Amino acid sequence: MNILLLGYGKMGKTIEKIALERDHQIAGRIDADNHADLANLEPDDVDVVIEFSSPESATENITYCFERGWPIVSGTTGWLSHRTEIESLCRDRKGAFFYASNYSIGVNLFFRLNKVLAHFMRNYPSYQVSMTEIHHTEKKDAPSGTAITLAEGVMEHLPNKQRWVNKEPDKALITSTDAVEIESLREGTVPGTHTVRYDSDVDRIEITHTAHSRQGFALGAVVAAEWLVGREGVFGMDDLLGEL
């Protein structure tokens, strides 16, 4: 199939490599430097779009794809305040939209493990939950979309946690609050490390997912694109993993 890459940074280049290895073609490579070239593509030139652009341009990019009738797989984070309107627009246009904060199969298993642990911990209020996420210094948004998804999973099962907050740098964690505190660190070229911890006076329970490279994220995005073609509606990794 013909894949349009919207966003051609390190992730876009990794996705391209995997897509070509899986016998797909690249219909275009659009980034901030050549965004005007997007208008040169005809609707029939593209079978599916994989979008890893920027928080500032994601909503406009996704909307444009709906207007062209292109199914779109989005992995950009930091724009989710517009998610409800984007999903409504997709349904109105009878389009196809696939969003995940993280396309790694391992991370999505980690999401499920996080919910199970939170369910167990709801009866033990002496444990205080907090999170840390570490990414490369080029990542623009904080906390990461993956960390937000983890926090939402915790909130589903801990009734006293109603929101998440980003921990201020060099500030101690707050232990008596209705919020899940997320510490965001930006270091070197780290692809992504996420830790959820439960601390008490006597011990600590923690689970961690560490990505070794971008390969797992990129492969998941390409598999999602293969799965999305020919469908209509709004989808996520639970839909994909349920079928796989």
Residues 110-125 have pLDDT tens digits of 999 999 999 999 999 9
pLDDT score of 196 more than 70: yes
The domain covering 105-210 belongs, at the CATH homologous superfamily level, to: Dihydrodipicolinate Reductase; domain 2 (3.30.360.10)
Query: Of the listed 24, 135, 167, 209, which one is catalytic?
Result: 135
pLDDT at 2: 98
Query: Of the listed 10, 115, 139, 157, which one is catalytic?
Result: 139
pLDDT at 173: 64
Q: What is the mean pLDDT of the chain?
A: 93
Catalytic, 135? Answer yes
Annotated binding site for NADP(+): 29
pLDDT at 214: 86
202: left (phi over 0), alpha (psi -120 to 50) or beta: alpha
What span, in angstroms and rounded, lies between the C-alpha atoms of 170 and 63? 39
pLDDT at 170: 65
SS3 readout for the chain: CEEEEECCCHHHHHHHHHHHHCCCEEEEEECHHHHHHHHHCCHHHCCEEEECCCCCCHHHHHHHHHHHCCCEEECCCCCHHHHHHHHHHHHHCCCEEEECCCCCHHHHHHHHHHHHHHHHHCCCCCCEEEEEEEECCCCCCCCCHHHHHHHHHHHHHCCCCCEEEECCCCCCCCCCCCEEEEEEEECCCCCCEEEEEEECCCCEEEEEEECCCCHHHHHHHHHHHHHHCCCCEEECHHHHHHHC
Annotated binding site: 29, 75-77, 100-103, 136, 145-146
Annotated binding site for (S)-2,3,4,5-tetrahydrodipicolinate: 136, 145-146
Q: Where do the domains of the chain lie?
A: 2-103+215-243, 105-210
pLDDT score of 197 more than 90: yes
pLDDT score of 67 more than 80: yes
pLDDT at 139: 86
Q: What is the pLDDT of residues 134-191, one digit of tens each?
A: 999 988 788 998 999 999 999 999 999 999 999 876 676 665 589 999 999 999 989 8
pLDDT score of 77 more than 90: no
Q: Chain-centre distance of CA 22, in angstroms?
A: 22
Catalytic, 140? Answer no
- The model's pTM: 0.79
pLDDT score of 74 more than 90: yes
Q: Tell me the sheet residues that pair with 75.
A: none
How far are the Cα atoms of 24, 69, 71, 156, 232 from residue 46, in angstroms, in the given order? 11, 9, 9, 38, 16
Mean pLDDT across the stretch 225-229? Answer: 97
What's the CATH number for 2-103+215-243?
Answer: 3.40.50.720
